[in-house]
Structure 1
Amino acid sequence: MTSTAQSPAELLHRLRARTSASPVTHVEQIPARAGRTAPWPEWAAPDVIAALGAHGIAQPWEHQAVAASLAAGGTHVVVATGTASGKSLAYQLPVLSRLTDDPRATALYLSPTKALAADQLRAVAKLGLDSVRPATYDGDTSREEREWIRQHSRLVLTNPDMLHHGLLPGHSRWGAFLRRLSYVVVDECHAYRGVFGSHVSHVLRRLRRLSARYGGSPTFVLASATSGDPADAASRLTGLPVTAVTTDTSPRGATTFALWEPPLLPPSPDNPDVPPERRSALSETADLLADAVVAGTRTLAFVRSRRGAEVVATMTRRSLDEAVPGLGDRVAAYRAGYLKEDRRRIERALMSGELLALASTNALELGVDLVGLDAVLICGYPGTRASLWQQAGRAGRAGGEALAVLIARDDPLDTYLVHHPSALFGRPVEATVLDPANPYVLGPQLCCAASEAPLKAEDLELFGGDAARTAVDGLTASGALRKRPSGWYWTHPGRPDVDLRGAGGAPVSVVESSTGRLLGTVDQTSSHVMLHTGAAYLHQGVTYLVDELDLDDAVALVHHEEPDWSTHARDVTDVSVLGVRSSVNAGPVGLHLGEVEVTSQVVSYQRRRLGSGEVIDTRPLDLPVRELRTVAVWFTISPRALDIAGVEPPDVPGALHAAEHAAIGLLPLMATCDRWDIGGLSTANHVDTEAPTVFVYDGHPGGAGFAERAYATAAAWLSATREAIAACACEAGCPSCVQSPKCGNGNNPLHKPGAVQVLDIVLTALATADNPTPTPAPRRPEG
C-alpha cells in the first residue's frame, strides 16, 4: 500500500507553490481529538460482541453505546455525529443482537445509494454471524436472488426506491418478513431532503402501516451527518418521536482545511469589454489531483456532476502521462451509472492502493468505508455544510492527519464562502428541509398507499391528519380513489406511477439519429432549456446538436458535431400570487411567504462563440408554456424608498434583477438546496403587488420547503447576499456576484451598485420590523 511522503501541511505548501500569487484564501487547522469508550451494554449478544472484538473493536465509543441502548430499549433514535465516527456500530449492535437472540426476527436497512448498501453488506458479512443471512435487494438483484431473499434473508439491505417500487406493492409476499420486523435502519438520513425527502417520508409511513397490518412494530434507528436539528428532521421523516444522540466521542486526527480560489484568467484580447473570468474549478482540481498523485498522496476529488468527474479524471490522467508515462493509470473516475462490477472493481483498487486517486461524484460521499485516504479535493461547494463535512471526512487514515481543500467555482456562493470562512467553520450545519404536507407529494403517495391496502380513516392521521383528509377528498372527487364502507380504494388496474426523485413526467431520452443509440436522459423540466431544436448538448465531453425535440414521445434526436459555438436558451417567466401565508410589514418594505403560479416559456436561444462569448445570433423557438404551482418568498419596496436611496428609475429593473440572482445564489447557505432547485423573478412593478418586487420560488410542484427556510432566515440570507455583491472586486457584475448561469434573459439588465442599494433598503427596514404576522391572501386583480 502506497503511503504519503508528505504531511498535509507539506502537501498544501507544494500545491500553493504552483502559482506565484497564492490562491489560498484561508487555512483552518482542526485539532485532533481523543476518544471516549464505554463498556459493552449488558443486553448485547455475546456472539456479536465476540465477532466485533475479532475485528479489532474492543469497546464501543460512548455515543455508540448510548444510541444502541436507546434503540435496544425500543426508543426511535437518530445518531448525528461526524464522518468516520462509527455510526454503523450504533445500529449494528442492537440489530445484530436482536437477530442473534431471536431467530425469527428480521430487520430492514435503507440507504440512498447502492454503493453504501453494498459496503454495509460487506461489513456485516465479514462478522461471520451466519444466522443473520444479510442480502442486498436492489435493481442489480436477479429474480432468483430476490426469491431467496424474500424467503430466507433476515437482514435486507435496500433503498427507498426499491422499497417503494418493489417491496411495498408486493407486501403480501413479504408478510412474514414484515410481521417479524424488529428494526428499520435509515442510513445517511440527511440525504432525504426537498421533494425526494418528502416522498421518502411517506414511503416510510406506508412501511409502518403495512408492518402494523401484519402485526409488526419496528424501532427506527437513523444515522445522519451532523445537522441543525436532527431530532426534528428525523421525526418529520418517519412521523415518529425521535431522540437525537449528537455528542461525538470518537477520536479524530488533525485536519488541515484550505479554501482555494482559482486565479483570474487574462482578459480576452478579442473582447476586452467582457468581464474577466476565473480559471475553471475543474481545471484547477485536475491540476491539484495530478500534483497529489506525483507526491504519492492517496486522494479523492469530489466533483458535482457526472460529466465533471469524467473530465477531471481525463485531464489528470493526461497530465500525469505526459510527465511519467503510465502514471495516469493510477487515476480513475467513479460515478453513478457505472455497472455494478465496475464500481466494485474501482472500490477494491482504491482500497488496495492500486489506484492513487479518484475523481468521484457524491456517490462516494455517503458512508462508503474508504480507508487509507490522505487528502480530499472538493471541486465546488457541494451545496450544504453537511455534505462539505461528509466529503472532507473521507480523508484521514486510522486517525492520522488529513488535508481537505475546497476549490471555489466562479459562483456567488463559492466566492462568498472562500472569503468568509466563518460561514463554514465553527457554525452548525443546516437543518434538513422537507415538507410531507406538499400536496403534489401527498396525493400521489396516498394513491400508492390505497393501491397497497384500502385507506381507512385512522390511516389518515399517519399521513398528516387534516392535510391527508383534504387530499383524500380531492382524490375521491377526481375519481382516483373510491370510498366504500371499508375505506378508500385505488380505482385503476395498475399501480400509481410515482417517481420519488423527480416530478414533471417521464425523462426525455437523448437518441443519436444515425445509430439509434441512447446517449442519456434529461428530466422534463430541463428538456426545454437543454434539448430544444438547435441546442448544443454535451455528453461525456462530446458535443451533439439537437435535430428535433418530440415532447409527446419524450425523445430528442441528435447528431454529432463540434461547432465553435454554444447555445443558451432564453425564456419569459411570469409569477402570479395565489395566496399569502405570512407577511412582515416593514414600512416601505414587505416580506411575504405564500403560494404562487409560475408560467414560463422558452422563446428563443442565442448562439455564442466559444472562448469570447460573442453572440452570433438569436433564433426563435416555439415551445409550449409550462406552469408550476409552488411556494415563494418575495419582498416588495416602495418606489419612493428606491428614489430616496438614489436608485434612478432606469436602473431599478437591473438593480432588482442583480439582487434576485445573488439571492438565489446565496440561499443554499441557509437551506439544504442547490441554486438549480430554485427560481426567481424580479420586476419594477408587479401586477399583484403593485410595487417593485423580487420573487424566489421553489422549482418543484407544491414547494420543497426552501422558500419557507428563506422567509425564516431572511435577514441573515439577504445580509450575506448584500455582502457577497459589495465585496466582489468587479465593476459591473460577474459570475462571482450577480451573473447567473441559468438566467433566461442573458443576464440583462443587471445593475450591481443598485442591487446593494436595494438590499440596504430591505435590511434596514427588516431590522426595525415587527414579528411576522399571518395575513389573508391578496385580492386578485380583475380582468
Structure 2
Amino acid sequence: NDGDVRTIGQVDGPSAAWMVHPGAIYLHEAQIYIVDQLDLEGKIAHLRGISADYYTEPRSETTVSLIDKLGEKDARGCTIAHGEIQVTTLVVGYRKIRWYTNETIGLGELSLPPTELQTTGYWIGLDEDTVKQLDAEGLWTNNSNDYGPLWPLLRQKVRDRDAYRCQLCGAAEVGRAHDVHHKIPFRSFPSREEANQLSNLVTLCPRCHHQVETAVRIRSGLAGVSFVFNNLAPLYLMSDSRDIGVHSDPQSPLTGGTPAVVIYDSAPGGIGFSEQLFEIHSTLIKAARDLIASCECSDGCPSCVGPGGENGMGGKRETLALLDLLV
C-alpha cells in the first residue's frame, strides 16, 4: 500500500493455489491482506492490506489414482491396501465466510492449473455387503438423490410459482433454467413425497443455489471417517497433521469404483506413513470408533466426525454404523 512493496512471507509451491489464490484472505502478524494476483510462473503473489470482516476457504476437487499397489489384504467389512498413488487437486473457487458468525457471504470462482503429487497412500475399500447393509438401514448417504418420476413436473410448477426468478437475489432466468432447491435437505425426510412438498421447494439461480448448498452440509459416514482419521492418524504416526492428506470417494479409482477412504503422505514420494497405517489398520479403526462413541455431542462436532454446518446433519450415527461393521 502507498508504494510500500515488501516480502511478508513464503508458502510452498503446492500450497500456493489454496493459500494465496486471487481473492484469498491472508493473515500475517495480525494484519489482513487480500491477494490481488498470483503469478505461478514467477512464483510470487501480490497482496495488499485491507480491513475485512471475513476470511476465505478454498473449494477444491481431488482425484486419487493408482500407480502401483504394494500390499493388500482382506479385513472385516473391507479390503485394505497401500501403494504408490497420484493425487491431483484442482482449486475451483472459494467461499467468503464472516468472522464470528461463520455465515457464507459470498463465493468466488477460480481458474487455476491442477497440482499433482506422486506419493504413497493407505486406503480402505468398503465391501459390497457393507454398503448394502448400511443402505438397507438408511445409513448410507452417498447415493444420488432419487427425486421420483414427478420431479420434472414439480420443478416446472415451482419455477412457474416463483415467476422464474431466484428467490434470494431476484435474478430472472436467462438462457439456463434456474434450479429448484429443497429448503430442508431431501435426505432429512423419510420419504421423497414429504421432501418434495411445494412448501419445501424454492427457485434459486445457480450461484445462490451453490451458496446455499455449501452452507447446508450433510456429512456422510464416509466423510465422517475421513474427518476422524485426519485427526487420529498423526497421533499414531507421531507426525504433524499437515504431513498427511485424507480423501474419501464413493466411487474411488483405487478400488475399481467402490467407496474408499485414503490417507496419503503429503511429501512427494512418501516417507513411509502409508505402510505403517496399513499395519495398524485394526488399531486405527477401533480408536476411531471409540473416539466417536465417547463424544458427548448429539450429531457431530469438531472433536469427532466434524460439524454438519448451518442447518446440516453431522453424520455421527452414519459414521458409527460404518465403523461398527469394520471393527
Q: Which residue of 1 aligns with 2:302?
A: 735
Q: Distance in 1 between matches of 2:110 and 2:103?
A: 21
> Per the alignment, do residues 636 and 750 of structure 1 end up closer, same or farther by CA in structure 2, a change over 3 Å counting?
farther
Given the two structures, how large is their TM-score scaled by the length of structure 1?
Answer: 0.30
Q: Which residue of 1 aligns with 2:212?
A: none
Q: Distance in 2 between matches of 1:573 and 1:755?
A: 22
| Alignment partner of 2:101 out of 601, 605, 612 | 612
Shift of 1:538: 0.4
Q: Distance in 2 between matches of 1:614 and 1:635?
A: 34
Retained in 1: the 8 A contact 2:142–2:250?
A: no
Retained in 2: the 8 A contact 1:572–1:601?
A: yes
| Alignment partner of 2:61 out of 572, 576, 580 | 572
1:556-571 equivalences under 5 Å are 556-571=45-60
Retained in 1: the 8 A contact 2:140–2:318?
A: no
Q: Which residue of 2 aligns with 1:519?
A: 8
Q: Distance in 2 between matches of 1:711 and 1:516?
A: 49
> Per the alignment, do residues 749 and 582 of structure 1 end up closer, same or farther by CA in structure 2, a change over 3 Å counting?
farther
Q: Which residue of 2 aligns with 1:694?
A: 261
Q: Helix, strand or coil for the counterpart of 1:641?
A: helix
Q: Which residue of 1 aligns with 2:226?
A: 660
The one-letter code of the counterpart of 2:326 is V
| Greater RCO, CA 8 A, separation 6+ | 2
Retained in 2: the 8 A contact 1:607–1:617?
A: yes
Shift of 1:647: 5.0
Given the two structures, how large is their TM-score scaled by the length of structure 2?
Answer: 0.71
2:248 counterpart of 1:757: no
Retained in 2: the 8 A contact 1:662–1:721?
A: yes
Retained in 1: the 8 A contact 2:119–2:265?
A: yes
Q: Distance in 1 between matches of 2:76 and 2:291?
A: 26
Retained in 2: the 8 A contact 1:594–1:633?
A: yes
The one-letter code of the counterpart of 1:718 is I
| Alignment partner of 2:241 out of 668, 675, 681 | 675
The one-letter code of the counterpart of 2:301 is C
For residues 253-298 of structure 1, give each alpha carbon's deviation from its aligned partner in whole angstroms, at most 9, with x where no partner exists. Answer: xxxxxxxxxxxxxxxxxxxxxxxxxxxxxxxxxxxxxxxxxxxxxx
Q: Which residue of 2 aligns with 1:159?
A: none
For residues 734-762 of structure 1, give each alpha carbon's deviation from its aligned partner in whole angstroms, at most 9, with x where no partner exists. Answer: 2112238xxxx99x885221111212212
Q: Distance in 2 between matches of 1:642 and 1:695?
A: 17
Q: Which residue of 1 aligns with 2:204?
A: none
1:682-721 equivalences under 5 Å are 682-689=248-255, 690-721=257-288
Retained in 2: the 8 A contact 1:657–1:750?
A: no
The one-letter code of the counterpart of 2:283 is A
Percent identity reads 32
Structure number having the greater strand percentage: 2
For residues 73-108 of structure 1, give each alpha carbon's deviation from its aligned partner in whole angstroms, at most 9, with x where no partner exists. Answer: xxxxxxxxxxxxxxxxxxxxxxxxxxxxxxxxxxxx
For residues 36-62 of structure 1, give each alpha carbon's deviation from its aligned partner in whole angstroms, at most 9, with x where no partner exists. Answer: xxxxxxxxxxxxxxxxxxxxxxxxxxx
CA RMSD of aligned residues (A): 2.2
Shift of 1:514: 3.3
Shift of 1:639: 3.3
Q: Which residue of 2 aligns with 1:633?
A: 122
Shift of 1:680: 1.6
Gaps of 5+ in 2: 144-218
> Per the alignment, do residues 644 and 688 of structure 1 end up closer, same or farther by CA in structure 2, a change over 3 Å counting?
same
1:159-198 equivalences under 5 Å are none
| Alignment partner of 1:599 out of 82, 88, 111 | 88
Retained in 2: the 8 A contact 1:592–1:634?
A: yes
2:31 counterpart of 1:542: yes
> Per the alignment, do residues 513 and 530 of structure 1 end up closer, same or farther by CA in structure 2, a change over 3 Å counting?
farther
The one-letter code of the counterpart of 1:720 is A
Shift of 1:636: 1.1
Q: Distance in 1 between matches of 2:274 and 2:2?
A: 41
For residues 670-709 of structure 1, give each alpha carbon's deviation from its aligned partner in whole angstroms, at most 9, with x where no partner exists. Answer: 1121111111211222234132111111111111211121
Shift of 1:594: 0.8
Shift of 1:723: 1.6
Shift of 1:587: 5.9
Shift of 1:640: 2.4
Q: Distance in 1 between matches of 2:2 and 2:88?
A: 32
Shift of 1:614: 0.2
Q: Distance in 2 between matches of 1:729 and 1:647?
A: 23
Shift of 1:550: 0.8
Retained in 1: the 8 A contact 2:97–2:106?
A: yes
Shift of 1:513: 8.0
Q: Distance in 2 between matches of 1:520 and 1:584?
A: 45
Retained in 2: the 8 A contact 1:696–1:707?
A: yes
Retained in 2: the 8 A contact 1:669–1:717?
A: no
Structure number having the greater helix percentage: 1
Retained in 2: the 8 A contact 1:656–1:755?
A: yes
Q: Helix, strand or coil for the counterpart of 1:757?
A: helix
Retained in 1: the 8 A contact 2:55–2:98?
A: yes
Q: Distance in 2 between matches of 1:553 and 1:606?
A: 26
Retained in 1: the 8 A contact 2:69–2:83?
A: yes
| Alignment partner of 1:530 out of 11, 16, 19 | 19
Bigger radius of gyration among the two: 1
Q: Which residue of 2 aligns with 1:648?
A: 139
Q: Distance in 1 between matches of 2:127 and 2:281?
A: 18
> Per the alignment, do residues 587 and 520 of structure 1 end up closer, same or farther by CA in structure 2, a change over 3 Å counting?
closer
Q: Distance in 2 between matches of 1:715 and 1:627?
A: 30
